[in-house]
Amino acid sequence: MQDKTHPTVRGWKNSRLFWNVGIATLCRILLNTARRFVYPFAPALSRGLDVPLISVTFLIAVNQMTGLLSPIFGPLGDRVGYRIMLLAGMGLLAGGMLAGGFFPFYGMMLVAMIMAGLGKSVFDPAIQAYVGKRVPYHRRGLVIGIMETAWAGSTLIGIPVIGILIKNFGWRAPFFVIGVLAVVGMAAIWIVMPPTGKNLNGFREGVGFRAVFRKLGKKRPALGVLLFAFLVSVANDNFFVIYGAWLEDCFNLGIVAIGMVTIVIGVAELFGELLVAFMSDRLGLRRSVVIGVVLSCMSYLVLPWWGSTIPKAMAAIFFVFAAVEFAIVTSLSICTEILPGARATMMAGYLAAASAGRVTGAFMGGLVWEAGRIEATVFISASMSVLALAAFLWGMYGWRPGK
């Protein structure tokens, strides 16, 4: 019998859906690589642009801040159709990267990073809403989990490839390569992904953006998940921004050795995403979020005691990021069903809340570290995680898919 909630889906394993998910995942690897590659290669960009390193870190900050603009684009996706927004997101990425490659000036590089960041802010809510519309809820964790491997893929595949390009062809090469591949991604989306049409059921109380977000705030499940996204992101970035200082302080590791920890984090994120794909639907999505947050709290709290040796410290970092990724990606799967009539709006709100949490966590992380070193850091991160779990349980109380 066909699923009435998802009338376009006869089975999640059909070949068209397989290609859709594959193309979306590859496109997101490009978008995530464009966001993340500036971090490790900031010195190379600084030399290439002939600007101080602090000017390059400003590019990073501006690129991250574009995530706060997701709520502008989510309602637009619900109004004009998700495929159009997917094309627009990849178009922004292509235009920004090619502009940065052809015009290697700092001002143009600023524009390029803004466009790349906006591309991700446009693309991510649309593709998650697209999956929410076309994949039955009981298979949502599998598909979202597979697509979210693009985040780890940008660390494990994208950044090493960028390093090879810079070493052999110069600092501008990644901009050309990502730009051209983004154009290829646009063509693939146009050819393979069918249009979803407009989805205006969530706008019966008004079609303005303000009316939609007023409605978001009135929905307890939506508000609970938004608070969860904010708080769990605060917790993670509060630790993320100081883990290098912690390793240097405890083990006197150099920059190169600390950089190698990025591989551990990438593998942990991939492990968490694959767990979502293959375990969350079986365990139940809500139960999986709870398990992920509880494990992340435990992982934070054992860090000071496991930090006695480098292998134990690496293991603790692995468990932190794997557990957090498991919780976050599973919660994304739930989000796709909270507001079926305005899925992109819901996803955009989630991504904006998470971005605000990362900015807040990054800001407070250094202050917390200076105040009490690793003990204070893990206490704050664990406390924020407990609050995140409380917000999630409050929002989910009494909620059922399709309700």
Q: pLDDT digit string (tens) for 223-274?
A: 899 999 999 999 988 887 777 778 777 777 665 566 567 778 888 888 988 8
At residue 254, the pLDDT reads 60
Residue 204 in domain: no
Distance separating the N- and C-terminal Cα atoms of the chain: 21
Residue 8 in domain: no
Condensed to tens digits (0 to 9), the pLDDT of residues 25-72 reads 999 999 999 987 876 677 778 888 888 877 876 787 777 778 777 777
Among 166, 199, 232, the domain-final residue is: 199
Of 365, 397, 394, 387, residue with least CA distance to 378: 365
User: 120 near 35, Cβ under 8 Å?
Assistant: yes
At residue 11, the pLDDT reads 46
Average pLDDT estimate for 178-182: 96
Contacts of 346 (CB under 8 A, 6+ apart): 74, 129, 216, 222, 335, 336, 338, 339
DSSP state of 208: S
CA distance 112 to 104: 10
Q: Kindly state whether residues 236 and 382 are assigned to the same domain.
A: yes
Task: For 160-181, give one letter per residue: b (16+ CB within 10 A) or e.
Answer: eebeebbeeeebbbbbbbbbeb
Percent of the chain with pLDDT over 70: 87
Our count of domains for the chain comes to 2
Average pLDDT estimate for 86-97: 95
Of 246, 371, 268, residue with least CA distance to 313: 246
Full DSSP string of 297-352: HHHHHHHHHHTTSHHHHHHHHHHHHHHHHHHHHHHHHHHHHHSGGGHHHHHHHHHH
CB atoms within 10 A of CB 3: 15
Q: Kindly state whether residues 103 and 244 are assigned to the same domain.
A: no
Q: Kindly state whether residues 165 and 216 are assigned to the same domain.
A: no
At residue 292, the pLDDT reads 93
Q: At what angle do helices 140-153 and 15-36 cross, to 10 degrees?
A: 30
User: 33 near 158, Cβ under 8 Å?
Assistant: yes
Give the residue, 187 or 285, on which the prediction is more confident.
187
At residue 212, the pLDDT reads 52
Residue 233 in domain: yes
At residue 208, the pLDDT reads 45
Q: Kindly state whether residues 218 and 244 are assigned to the same domain.
A: yes
CA distance 364 to 234: 9
Q: Which of 2-16, 22-36, 47-61, 336-350 has the lowest average pLDDT?
A: 2-16
At residue 204, the pLDDT reads 45
Residue 347 has pLDDT above 50, yes or no: yes
Task: For 339-357, give one letter per residue: b (16+ CB within 10 A) or e.
Answer: bbebbbbbbbbbbbbbbbb
At residue 378, the pLDDT reads 92
Residue 365 has pLDDT above 70, yes or no: yes
Instruction: Supply the CATH number for residue 325's domain.
Output: 1.20.1250.20
Average pLDDT estimate for 174-181: 96
Q: Kindly state whether residues 112 and 63 are assigned to the same domain.
A: yes
Task: For 225-262, give one letter per residue: b (16+ CB within 10 A) or e.
Answer: bbbbbbbbbbbbbbbbbbbbbbbeebeebeeeebeebb
In the block, residue with structure tokens 């949502």: 140
Among 199, 224, 247, the domain-final residue is: 199
Q: Kindly state whether residues 239 and 373 are assigned to the same domain.
A: yes
Residue 95 has pLDDT above 50, yes or no: yes
Average pLDDT estimate for 292-303: 92
Q: Kindly state whether residues 246 and 190 are assigned to the same domain.
A: no
Among 199, 220, 244, the domain-final residue is: 199
Q: Kindly state whether residues 224 and 356 are assigned to the same domain.
A: yes
Residue 6 in domain: no
Percent of the chain with pLDDT over 90: 27
Q: Kindly state whether residues 215 and 175 are assigned to the same domain.
A: no
At residue 329, the pLDDT reads 87
Residue 206 in domain: no
User: 320 near 272, Cβ under 8 Å?
Assistant: no
Q: Kindly state whether residues 59 and 126 are assigned to the same domain.
A: yes
Q: Kindly state whether residues 252 and 194 are assigned to the same domain.
A: no
Q: Kindly state whether residues 245 and 184 are assigned to the same domain.
A: no
Domain of residue 195: give its range. 15-199
Average pLDDT estimate for 372-401: 90
Residue 115 DSSP SS3: helix
In the block, residue with structure tokens 């591309």: 119
Kindly report the average pLDDT of the chain as a whole number.
Answer: 81
The most confident of the ranges 129-138, 183-192, 326-335 is 183-192
Supply 248's token pair.
């240097």
